Amino acid sequence: MTVKALRRTLLGAVAILCFAAGAASACLGKSDPALDDNFSKPDAGWPNGDNVTPTPQGLVIKPPVNGSTWAVNSNYTMDGSDLCVTVAWPTTMPSPANEDTVGDVGVLFWKRDNDNYYMAAISPDGIAVVSRYLNNQWLTIANPAHSDAVKTGPGVANEIEVTTKGNAGMLYINGTKIADFHGQAPPGGGGPPGVYAESGPSVTSWIFSRVQLYTLPQ
C-alpha cells in the first residue's frame, strides 16, 4: 500500500484541467451522511495495521520515509457520492514545508485495485492536485496549482472534499471549488472511499479527525 508520489515531475497526463475557484457549501453544511466517523467509535471498515491506526483522536497514518500510505473503508462505495475528510498539518514542520519535506495528504477514490486508483491531495505550501496511480506511474488529472483555499501552518486543519458521479468529479478545499475533472470510475459502485498520506525524509504522522460520506441527489 505504499508508493512515493512524485507529482511535480509527473510521467504522463490523461486529462489536464484548469483550476477554478468558486464558492460552495462545505461538508459540515450537509445532512444525512451515509458515514460520519470521528473515530470515537471507528467504523469497522477501516484497516488497523502497522502504519494505519484508528484512535479516539482520529485515523492516524504514518507513511514510511519518502513513501505513501492509503487506507480505504471497505463498507462503503463512491458511486454518486461526496467524500469529505478533515485532516491537520503536523504541529511541527520543517522550513520550507512542502510535498518533498513533509508530504501530501488527501482522499483516495475510484480504486479498482492496488495499482489503479485516484487521489486528490494538498501540500503544506498550498498546492492542490488530482492524480491517478496506474501501473506504477502517476498521471496528471488536474495540474498541481497553488490555491488560497488551502490553509497552511503547523497544526492547521483542512477539509478536502471530492464528489463523484459516473466518470466526472469535483474537488473542493474548505468549501471552495478547485477543479472539475474526468476519469475512469471502476464498475460496480465506484470503489471504496479512502484517505491518502505521504512522508518526506522523516516519517510524518497524519491525523484524519473526521471522514464523511454523502449520497449525491440523483
Q: Across residues 112-119, what is the average pLDDT?
A: 96
Q: Does residue 96 have a cis bond before it (omega within 30 degrees)?
A: yes
Rounded Cα distance between 27 and 24, Å, is 9
Q: Across residues 5-11, what is the average pLDDT?
A: 40
Rounded Cα distance between 173 and 204, Å, is 21
Q: What is the pLDDT of residues 127-162, one digit of tens each?
A: 999 999 999 999 999 999 999 999 999 999 999 999
Q: Name the pLDDT band for 28 (thresholds 50, 70, 90).
A: low
pTM here is 0.89
Q: What is the pLDDT of residues 168-206, one digit of tens each?
A: 999 999 999 999 999 999 988 789 999 999 999 999 999
Using only C-alpha atoms, the chain has a radius of gyration, in whole angstroms, of 15
Domains in the chain with CATH codes: 7-215 (2.60.120.560)
